[in-house]
Amino acid sequence: MATVEEIGRNRLAAWRSALLGSVVLAALPVVYYPAITVWAALGLGLGGARLIEAFSKGADISFRALIFAAMGLLAMTLLVAAPTIEDYFDGFAFRYNHQVTSLGIFDYISARVIAGLTPFQLKGAGSVLPEVAEQAAGIVLIALMATALVSEPHRVRLAGVLVGGVAYLAWLRWWQAYPYAYMKGAAYVSFALLGVAAAGLQGLWQWQLPRQFPQSCRTYAAIATRSLSTIAAIGLCALMGVSQAHVVSAHMERPSLYPDDAPTLLALRQLAPPGSTVTLTSDKRVRGMTNGFAAYALDHAIVWGHVRTGYAESRAGDAGAIGEYGLLYAFEDPLLWGYASPPIWRGGSYALYRRPPEIQRHVRLLRVLAPGETLTAPLLEDPSRSLRLMVASPEAATIAVNGAPFTLSPGRHTITLLRVSSQKVTLRNIGTTPLLVETATSLTASHTVSTAGVSAPRHAHVQAPLTDVTVQRVTNSAVVHSSAIASGALITTTLKTLLPDAGPLRAALDIWDVERGVQYGWYGVLMAPSVEVQRFSMVLSLADGHMRCSSAEGEAPIGAYFAGLQPGRYTARLYLSAGAQVVSEPIDLFGFEVTSDRTISGVWVREEQIQAIRTTNPATPFRVRVGSDVILMGYTVVTPRLRAGEMVDLVLWWRSLHDGLDERSVLVHLVDAAGNKYAQGDGPPAEGALPTSRWRAGLTVVDARRLLIPADLPPGDYVLLVGMYRWPSLERLPVIQHDTLLPDGVIRIPVHIEE
């Protein structure tokens, strides 16, 4: 504004100020993307007020001069910023094409938080000041802003700033309907609004009684107003200081955002040697700032993969590159990336793997081959090397590799071709069911493959020479074939699932307007382990959120939650989970739009999608014998931060060594160091869906359990006791680890309850 006024007064003689002002304006959005939105609103408010002043009598600059000055400054700013304009708008569109929902901000912050009187916290937000103190401080702030609008010589300009700031927040609140942007925008605008309050404080300090009053009255009034100004300033600063000091103290030990990843990932600096290559996952569950943290922690290494943060994205490494190390999502299947369990490190949301020495190149294909469809696998640099393909289908499938047919049983398999004589490998689905081709891996020539598993049949009409072909089944895997069909406002989702040796798992449709963070609903069905293919049909009425689910046995029970029909663009993502632990990367299955008059439009669906996942992947793996016929393979405490009054999500992996065990129940107790019990979650495994009497030899039972932490439990270190006892005798089974009998027949899992 000062630059516009000087140009309006001095015209061309003000070129130095014009140049400086244009550089400052051009730098604002470059320094920070959203700056142009908030400063545009404040600038429009202030500029409008200045134009109003130009119409008053005795104005030093005419309305016309101000308009021409503003247009001249705009032209010079665009000229200075010309090299960055395209990049700026590309970056702005990249950053804000979707609403940020990963931080968990779905509500609009209050005026008290905007004013700095109540500390902002992602969870457990609340006032640290007495209610009456906050109310009094709010009244004082409003009174000071009103004082500025009646006492200050620049009251019109201050009113323009106030109107611009309030209009900006209203735009974010009701037009954009974006809680996260409202939170950030309010933080910016609060400085301008507090500036108006400070102007009111200055006006109160300078206020004097008219001269017709006696000098003594004027003196006492000046002392009173200045004392009042001092008390108001000190009081407001003290109250705001207490509130903001609480925010600082809450973050002294660890950050509030990404507390499990930001500090933990720094360990990668010691684990991955300088100059080493690291493949970084692109899993949706850690895409964004978490991946950015990981890439930053690996700045001493060469990172391959796709990194996308809120502000930029990058890709490195060719299609077949596999790093010496792989940094994957903690619950991701490492086979998809060419790595093998166990990881060499786990921390936060990630697990670090070392590349097996026999693997040279690896490509994630993740291509569904429809019947009759053909795929050419990546070329091998050295035809003497072996090629390993990983394929999956919930039903029996037939695939031709360079013309040689292979009949595969339902499930997940690897096909290893030793010493391929040609560099071109063609895959063709010659069966009647879709087939997922997951990966293609180049192995060293000296690599040998175990002959265990299913041998590939040889046929006389082999069209390309294949030597030493081995087909093996991948154990502890589940295969899910999903397809959606739309009929008006009805969506029918068909699931074909195969869980031959582990389960149960839950398939869930979670439906959100991702851009606005608004949920439509959640629908889940439990899939028990079975060597046979199970089929589920889930029919959803988009108009009212009602779903019915059926299987071959008839009506199937589902878990359902319908949040209501709100306007938005919704996407249904299919998740596979073990309790609260998501075991697969979600896939988008269908979507639709709810208009302002609550009608359904823009329905789209995706057909023929196949997922193959690893079902046994505990965060803490071990091998503990329970009795003589069960092994506990490990556990995962899914809830990263435990607090009083909240739930503990625990997943246990049991392996049965025999068929048809007697009836047993699982023991889960929360105790302190002295053995005092505070919570208990006993019951049959897998929520009663898979009692031990139905276990069979070799079956892995995924047992998801929940415990409620008492609301009055003091913070500190506690232990989860896990064991198994016979029912109804309550005889506890012995627990043996490393040939040592553990006391009390329980495994002890340490946990920490935070404040």
DSSP string for 574-608:
EEEEETTEE-S--EEEEEEEE-TTS-EEEEEE---
Residue 625 CA to residue 577 CA, distance in Å, equals 25
Degrees (nearest 5) of the Cα angle 223, 228, 230? 95
Instruction: Assess contact for 23 and 80: CB atoms under 8 A.
Output: yes
Indicate the SS3 state at residue 76.
helix
The rounded Cα 97 to chain-centroid distance in angstroms is 16
Helix (H) / strand (E) element for 701: namely strand 700-708
* pLDDT at residue 423, as a whole number: 65
The pLDDT tens digits of the residues spanning 741-755 come to 999 999 999 999 987
Q: What is the pLDDT at residue 459?
A: 33
* pLDDT of amino acid 254: 67
Gap between the Cα atoms of 41 and 167, Å rounded: 7
Alpha-carbon distances, residue 558 vs 526, 684, 685, 694 (angstroms): 7, 20, 19, 22
pLDDT attached to residue 451:
33
Structure confidence at residue 719 (pLDDT): 95
pLDDT for position 447: 53
Q: Which positions ≥6 away from 362 have C-beta within 8 Å?
A: 320, 322, 337, 338, 439, 440, 441, 442
Answer whether 175's CB lies under 8 Å from 167's CB: no
Q: Report which secondary-structure segment, H or E, holds 113.
A: helix 111-114
What are the residue ranges in the chain where pLDDT is below 50? 448-466
